[in-house]
Chains A and B, each alone.
Chain A
Amino acid sequence: MRDAFRRLLRSPFGATGLSLFGALLLTALFAPLIATQDPIALVPRDALQGPSPAHLFGTDDLGRDVFSRVIWGSRLAVRLGVLSVLIAASGGVVLGLLAGYYGGWVDNLISRLLEVVLAFPGILFAIAIVAILGPSLDNLIIALGLFGWPGYARLVRGSVLSAKQREYVEAARATGATGSRIMARHLLPNVIAPVIILSATRFGGALLAGSGLSFIGLGVPIPQPEWGAIMATGRDYLDSAWWVFAFPGGIIAIAVLGVNLLGDGLRDVLDPRLRA
């Protein structure tokens, strides 16, 4: 592991990605210290001021400091990314293991269910979930997490199908190990690396999808400073107070870029080991 980490740091993409992702996590952690002002304090007479030393990213239409909102928004972003990936990964991995190992009707059933999820238009599903459960970050996370199941399940299923033939699995079965034991001890470790790599991509995907949904009003309740929601408040001022829209958008891009670079770096580091 340590060896892999060191190799990750040595590759330019991986190092950049790791630092950007690290910066995101640190910002989220230390948000109260980094933010210069209260992210929900309204100062209407200061509305729509451009970037300045007092307001690094300017102010929005209610006079809130955009910089502080973006900084606090990193907490929501990290929560969104991490939790939706966890939900997607845990559900998807379990389904993939079951489908790959047991095969037969179990595989058939699970694969069909996943196809149904994939065939369903995403945005309608998200709107429905928010309408049914109410608008909140956690409900958004649930919707995004459920969408991720097929991706992980397919990956894991494929890996399991190829690993199933290998000798150590046969040997384990011969010694009477139970299905779940085999899955946990022999199949799961093989799958961890690609799952981690996929998670990096999905983290970025969750940030993009989440901000898109917030942007159209399906996301967090006011006054939470989710990045997409901040952009939504700036929607009417593209031509004038462009900073309200531009800065959060840029930050989203940087965060997703970081996570994508990290994913690339991880792939370079972890993949050769898989092949071996």
Chain B
Amino acid sequence: MLAIPVLLGVSVGVFLMIAFIPGDPATALAGDTASPDAIARIRVELGLDQPLPVQYLRFLERLAHGSLGTSIRTHRDVTVEILDRLPYTLELAFAAVLISTTLGVSLGVIAAVNRGRTPDLVTMGIAMVGLSVPTFFLALIGIVVFSLRLHWLPVTGAATLGSLVLPAVSLSLHSAAVKARITRSSMLEILGQDYLRTARAKGLRERAVIWRHALKNALIPVSTIVGLQFGSLLGGAFIIETIFGWPGVGLLSVQAIFNRDFPVIQGTVLLVAVAYLVTNLLVDLLYAWLDPRIRYA
């Protein structure tokens, strides 16, 4: 598939990044009090004394055998490290997509149906604010209000359903705003078109008309956004994960960069790239599937 060159490009990109970044795993591992001899030994142990192209080829070789390598810090398979965190990232991503789509589409529909009147202005106003406020700002305010002042929700961890609420909502607001606006404009586009008038002439009730036709059409661009959002969330929302102590892939990848844990960096970047490409593909398929159905409706 066409995805292969992109993945190769991404892996080369990671290697270039690793090549230029100051500090290597040996200095990071050896800590502040290490001797030059200790660092040199660690470097040899890790194979870092090999020239970079050789390391890259070894990486490709391992990859061909289905292995992402071993974490330099924990000595476990990179695959295991990622799989330990992936469920949490998926949970957060699904929750954020669900919340943002439900919220966004509902607001968009309310706005479109009440075009020009107060509900429209209010919902679009909310959407505009949602687009403009920094995510980490909302997240921290959420903690202060809901965890510290009201004690409704836990502060940290991923243990209970309650601990999912704040991170997921924080991640969903921006996207919800985008979906609300797109839903509204898409629906407005359709609400004036001919076939809708025809459907109305056939005697269907106004409500059914709106819901079945306009909404379906509006879902097309929304599904594109859903795909993109999901793909980027799989890369992990690092800031949110740090603030809430959510043990996801984002936190893993950023810690790996700070630790210079090269195998983990490569593994997570590849994972994110694959996720991005796969979700894009699915969105394209979904798009194609949704479209012809509308025409025959």
Contacts and interface: CB of A to CB of B under 8 A. Distances in A.
Please determine if A and B sit in direct contact within the complex, based on CB atoms under 8 angstroms apart: yes
Interface of A: 112-113, 115-116, 118-125, 127-128, 131-132, 204, 208, 211-212, 215-216, 228, 231, 235, 238-239, 242, 245-246, 249, 252-254, 256-257, 260-261
A125 B17 contact: yes
A114 to B, nearest CB: 10
Interface residues of B, number: 43
Nearest to A242: B144
B134 interface: yes
Given A249-B134, A249-B137, A238 B144 contact: yes
A116 B12 CA distance: 10
Interface stretch (B50-58, B105-113, B266-274, B287-295): B266-274
Q: Would you call the interface of chain B mostly helix, strand, loop, or mixed?
A: helix
Interface stretch (B93-101, B216-224, B249-257): B249-257
B148 interface: yes
Contacts of B239: 123, 212, 215-216
A119 B13 CA distance: 11
Contacts of B6: 112, 115-116, 119
B103 interface: no
Given A119-B6, A128-B257, A215-B239, A245 B133 contact: no
A252 B258 CA distance: 28
Interface string B126-157: 00110111111100110110001000000000
Contacts of B272: 119-121
15 contacts: A112-B5, A115-B6, A116-B9, A119-B276, A125-B17, A127-B257, A132-B21, A212-B135, A216-B238, A235-B140, A238-B140, A245-B137, A245-B140, A253-B129, A257-B129
B20 interface: yes
B195 to A, nearest CB: 21
B137 A252 contact: yes
Nearest to B133: A253
Contacts of A115: 6, 9, 277
Given A112-B9, A113-B9, A132-B20, A121 B253 contact: yes
Most chain A CB within 10 A, of B6, B265, B273, B277, is at B6
A204 B174 CA distance: 13
Contacts, number: 111
B69 interface: no
Contacts of B2: 112
Contacts of B277: 115, 119
A124 B13 contact: no
A254 B134 CA distance: 11
Contacts of A113: 9
A222 to B, nearest CB: 20
B21 A131 contact: yes
Given A119-B273, A121-B268, A125-B17, A239 B148 contact: yes
Nearest to B22: A131
Contact of A121 (B128, B137, B269): B269
A231 B141 CA distance: 12
Contacts of B236: 121
A120 B132 contact: no
Given A112-B9, A252-B134, A124 B265 contact: yes
Contacts of A118: 276
Most chain B CB within 10 A, of A122, A124, A249, is at A124
B293 to A, nearest CB: 25
Most chain A CB within 10 A, of B140, B239, B269, B277, is at B140
A124 B258 CA distance: 10
A120 B269 contact: yes
B104 interface: no
A245 B268 CA distance: 32
A208 B253 CA distance: 21
Given A115-B6, A132-B22, A238-B140, A257 B128 contact: yes
Contacts of A119: 6-7, 10, 272-273, 276-277
A69 B119 CA distance: 38
Contacts of B248: none
A204 B21 CA distance: 29
B238 A123 contact: yes
Nearest to B257: A127
CB-CB nearest 10 A-B residue pairs: A116-B9, A119-B273, A257-B132, A256-B132, A249-B137, A121-B235, A253-B133, A119-B276, A128-B17, A115-B6
B213 to A, nearest CB: 23
B132 A253 contact: yes
B9 A260 contact: no
A183 to B, nearest CB: 26
A256 B137 CA distance: 14
Contacts of A238: 140-141, 143-144
